[in-house]
Structure 1
């Protein structure tokens, strides 16, 4: 069992590393070509069929790039296809989903206080949501609505918000955000695999056969590429969100997810406008900052919305939490709810090392990690994963009261 757990942990690490490498390659090439496309300039001397050109300098050399909206008059001798970055990003991401969330469904995927289902049922729901999400998206794009690019994007935003809410009704907060990222990334990768690359291959085949390619294939591919462009930044956030429990482990996590999608749009709009040499719309950053402040506010679950007392801002470091009157009850709570994993020798099945090296077995260790306990198990529901030890709302309030009381006592 020990060797199996170690091997599984290293498999997860390898899959994560593979995923990061391929994602960097995909996102990097995507951002580059979006910037290149928007920066193209039309000049009189361009060859027939060429839409625009761009001069760039990098690595000590100059590059002269021309773009054809449909295709050049003759088939080039060599073509470089940008597709495998997308494919392997999705494959490695799905591998991680299987290893971490399907393999550890009881711990990371299922929260029986949200929905009491078995691991096989949860996994089937997960798989079905990814597959049906692509089908629904593709049908929307091919419907009459698809001819209105911005109207289509508005409808797609409503769909994404609905999925954000739906996932939080099915899985743990952490798994909900991960699945929202996987749902979006599946659409993006499927756009490349099912639409963009096949359309480009049709154009290439027409050129080889001496036929004039139909421009509709390029137009459709362009629309899907635009969607991928605006979805990239939210996907990155959701894939990294497991490190930030105040985003996924709070009551209004699905609203936070909805706002993250808007932030992705405002940020990309600034870059797209700048690359197109149409100015620098600073208003987009103002909106982004406002959205982020709203997200921070929602993550604290203020009294206006829930009836709970809002948390005061606290310093990142503090001492003497063990002297607070709440500490005896907190120590008992941590011992019964947390220390089976956060111990030098964890007793929870499959855990052979305390997660992130955090041990909570004595007064000093609990006091040293007071801030993490407050955020992970008090202010958010990130810990215990899937609430596997059945921590109650009143116990979470105790952790909040302990932390805030100690901090207030130290600042007086």
Structure 2
């Protein structure tokens, strides 16, 4: 497909995904907040609680029924299409970015799978994830919410560990996100909306509603709420190669997911006398620890200087300053400028990705921190290692960056 068309497809679908995703997440957050802040003291007969709120210059009074009113209102607002279109646009985006360019972003550089096999495995993982989650959530574990949460979290992290063995770090991350997104929309489509339809039908038929279905829907809704922040991180993770590009990428994803869950739990429970306020500094500490343990640097001695952690035997050459800019420039021209140039030779790109070009020495020096992070430390560039950049070439760039370079370079 023409790269210009692909870029605009990416833009249009990503924008739509963001718009409907915001609508879905906003509604989810609001209704969980509403449920947690209902005034349940001495409610009117048939009510579970009510709430007064002020917003946008107006005062609102909301009431929640224990199950349902005696008569169906003329207008009843449903919240479902936001979820459905978020999943649909997400799948389209997955196809445009990862499946049409499987060798570039989905497959690991040393993958033994073909591109079609990798795509098939990715799609299969989404539905296997849903069926495993649904079975666990309907098992006896549903009576033990904390145990269920731990089992589900362990299952997600096991899946992420398995995926990083067959996909690129970026491809593995996005498929964990897509798996969780599929579970969330599955909860809406298979559990929450059917429970609501049964509730409405019971009112129309003037029979008592089944209280088990709304209770199950509420549990799944809470699951969706806690899964939201990990998914949002995964959506932006491709901008942070030190996470998905780390050799411990699955563990970093686990840590960041815990941070997101902690933050969500605080906001879900802050009406309870702020008893979980400690989760905020705990989450901040967790971020600091993750940044520290994922550091690509190492100490070089008592002087506390730091050097890039590269696998290179010619350390003496570095110390003597024997690596020249010309050597580095040759590697970058061969391995990087096929994409990062004013006129990329890679047919998948009509312009340099992110506008980053390495055509001149000044360009290379200006973008050196990014080159080091993405090509030397995390090795996520070139994507899929399509230009077959060697470890020795990566080490050469890292070692040149670590040595004392003349100002003219």
Q: TM-score, normalised by structure 2?
A: 0.91
1:11-22 alignment to 2 at 5 Å? 11-22=9-20
Asked if structure 1 preserves the Cα contact closer than 8 Å seen for 2:3 and 2:347, the reply is no
Asked if structure 2 preserves the Cα contact closer than 8 Å seen for 1:101 and 1:108, the reply is yes
- CA RMSD in angstroms, aligned pairs only: 2.1
- Cα distance in 1, alignment partners of residues 55 and 23 from structure 2: 18
**Larger CA deviation: 54-63 vs 380-389:** 380-389
Show CA shifts across 1:326-368 (max 9, x none). Answer: 4232212111110111111111122211111111122121111
Asked if structure 2 preserves the Cα contact closer than 8 Å seen for 1:137 and 1:187, the reply is yes
**Larger CA deviation: 98-107 vs 388-397:** 388-397
Secondary structure of 2:160's partner?
A: helix
- Cα distance in 2, alignment partners of residues 278 and 86 from structure 1: 32
2:331 matched to which residue of 1?
333
2:281 matched to which residue of 1?
286
Q: Aligned pair 1:108/2:99, yes or no?
A: no
Question: Displacement of 1:68 after TM fit?
Answer: 1.6
- Cα distance in 2, alignment partners of residues 141 and 288 from structure 1: 27
2:242 matched to which residue of 1?
246
1:64-103 alignment to 2 at 5 Å? 64-103=61-100
Asked if structure 2 preserves the Cα contact closer than 8 Å seen for 1:343 and 1:361, the reply is yes
2:147 matched to which residue of 1?
151
Question: Displacement of 1:311 after TM fit?
Answer: 4.9
2:314 matched to which residue of 1?
none
Distance of aligned partners of 1:88 and 1:47 in 2 relative to their CA distance in 1, 3 Å threshold: same
1:296 matched to which residue of 2?
291
- Cα distance in 2, alignment partners of residues 393 and 152 from structure 1: 43
2:315 matched to which residue of 1?
none
- Cα distance in 1, alignment partners of residues 49 and 306 from structure 2: 55
Secondary structure of 1:254's partner?
A: helix
Show CA shifts across 1:364-394 (max 9, x none). Answer: 2111111110111112122111111222233
Distance of aligned partners of 1:98 and 1:310 in 2 relative to their CA distance in 1, 3 Å threshold: farther
Q: Aligned pair 1:208/2:198, yes or no?
A: no
1:160-309 alignment to 2 at 5 Å? 160-274=156-270, 276-301=271-296
Asked if structure 2 preserves the Cα contact closer than 8 Å seen for 1:251 and 1:301, the reply is no
Asked if structure 2 preserves the Cα contact closer than 8 Å seen for 1:302 and 1:310, the reply is no
Question: Displacement of 1:406 after TM fit?
Answer: 4.8
Distance of aligned partners of 1:137 and 1:341 in 2 relative to their CA distance in 1, 3 Å threshold: same
Runs of 5+ consecutive residues of structure 1 not aligned to the other structure: 314-322
1:320 matched to which residue of 2?
none
Distance of aligned partners of 1:292 and 1:132 in 2 relative to their CA distance in 1, 3 Å threshold: same
Show CA shifts across 1:18-59 (max 9, x none). Answer: 000011111111111111110001232x33221111100011
Residue 48 of structure 2 is aligned with which of 43, 47, 51? 51
Distance of aligned partners of 1:406 and 1:172 in 2 relative to their CA distance in 1, 3 Å threshold: farther
Q: TM-score, normalised by structure 1?
A: 0.90
1:30 matched to which residue of 2?
28
Instruction: State how many pairs are aligned.
Output: 391
Q: Aligned pair 1:136/2:137, yes or no?
A: no
Question: Displacement of 1:142 after TM fit?
Answer: 1.0
Distance of aligned partners of 1:310 and 1:249 in 2 relative to their CA distance in 1, 3 Å threshold: farther
Distance of aligned partners of 1:98 and 1:385 in 2 relative to their CA distance in 1, 3 Å threshold: same
Show CA shifts across 1:107-139 (max 9, x none). Answer: 1111232x2221110110001000110001001
Distance of aligned partners of 1:312 and 1:36 in 2 relative to their CA distance in 1, 3 Å threshold: farther
Secondary structure of 2:63's partner?
A: strand
- Cα distance in 2, alignment partners of residues 302 and 188 from structure 1: 38
- Cα distance in 2, alignment partners of residues 47 and 300 from structure 1: 57
